[in-house]
Structure 1
């Protein structure tokens, strides 16, 4: 992945990027929430070939964008969790045994003031001799809504490998310890140095998935990342805005499933039966839906940037979504609703944007 979505420019403070993302999500009503942790770990250190990469985690910058800003109260709220956001992240990362973590006292001594931009993180990483640096921002938006943003920086290459954002809704002191393990897993999974370790997907049964979702609320959304759900019968299931990023749903039966606002970034759903499924406001960036059955499915205001829909069947589907760079070669789009939604004026006219998409051989007969 050359430049993952959300990756920071080296001269841009992460707090600025995160606040821009907050505004964009508010405009589209898309919610990317924190996830309840499920046990999907990296292999043990004994399986690692060669030296573990060193990683320095910097203290998170803290910003208060709430209607009545009170920086002291914000820091007190975070402290009530028992650890700083960075310390929670260090604890989660250490459990993977994937990195040699730089001692926190050395990190504190190397950082002068706030370090919330990639340029600062890069220089700090060089001083510490670290292979990787994680830096981030915590933003309070309102009394109950917070955003956490973190980026993983490759010091030798001088570039951000991945930035991740989490929305935290509720008591920050209670939810921060659960948000950071989710953040840690996402960042570690994106590190090419760890790709050789092979992050095995945990296999769940349909019964386990249904039971987990039945016992979970959508606040925070369920964490179903990095799982093997291929071939399962999950027809009609309410996924409660779940994060299914990087999971495999290949050939799964998802007919009529309620997948409103789910996150399927880098997920695989090739050959899946999604007829009549509701994927409105879903984030399907780079999702592989090759040959999937999406007849009469609804993808209103979903994000399909870079998605692969070659040979997919979207006849009669409602697809009003940004899909820049998507692949739809030989896709069946007969009678599909691709037109602007003039009934959604308060949010601006929603329309399908297929700029730079591959529609070679696609059937668009009867589509509007």
Structure 2
């Protein structure tokens, strides 16, 4: 079977009718609001429970708010949205499902661990480019307290955190895609391949995800013919300080130097030393709020014009870790350009 002419190389598609990100909204918790990017977030919560009876209910409410506010900014109603792509970290992606039940929008639930923001944006963009929708919403969320007790220990346990550990971001980001207006466009989508270099330490997810991040970024360059200097920013999702450094080294082995363009959402969302966040931030909400807050606003102001968003995920579960399994990684890349 002959491949479609939109495909470039092994992992990338070029969007001939690139969708525009016509609105974005970010909502974060108190700790994120105390970090270096606070002025870029649309909403900063005073109470990370949002008055709900559980952290899980609070996370779903965050996502509902992010979607609702993004729709308001786009001057659209839920009836105008053809599809909702969403995912989170919780078992059976309940944050997404319970938020989606408040909308009458056809829903695709996704799980790519912390890579889900780029995954949802990738699939939403492809379906828009294919002419199957006029407006689509892509969103993700995470919450420190809900993720911490699912993947690690009860919060009351007070376990000591390793220096390689990352702090799950409390936050949700949502974008609305359309075809009209002067907005950033999604031009390329590079879908990741699962990579596993044998890392077993659940407290060092940056090392587990770095090979996947490097592979996707290098594949993007090879498939498109682009180089690091073609981008103002290459933003990985939540590799943290350690994973970011490993990724730069791995990519250099393929003859590319991204050190001048490379930022990591997990590294910059917190002041790691003063906020005691060890290697940085993580979670589906990490790249979601850094993109919808910090990066999207800079694109709209034309301070930057081309970015490569590469959300990264550790494809582990509590069961697999307890059974001694290694931690596979995945990364998806989306090129976003402001003309």
| TM superposition score normalised by structure 1 | 0.27
**Structure with the higher strand share, 1 or 2:** 2
**Structure with the higher helix share, 1 or 2:** 2
Larger radius of gyration: 1
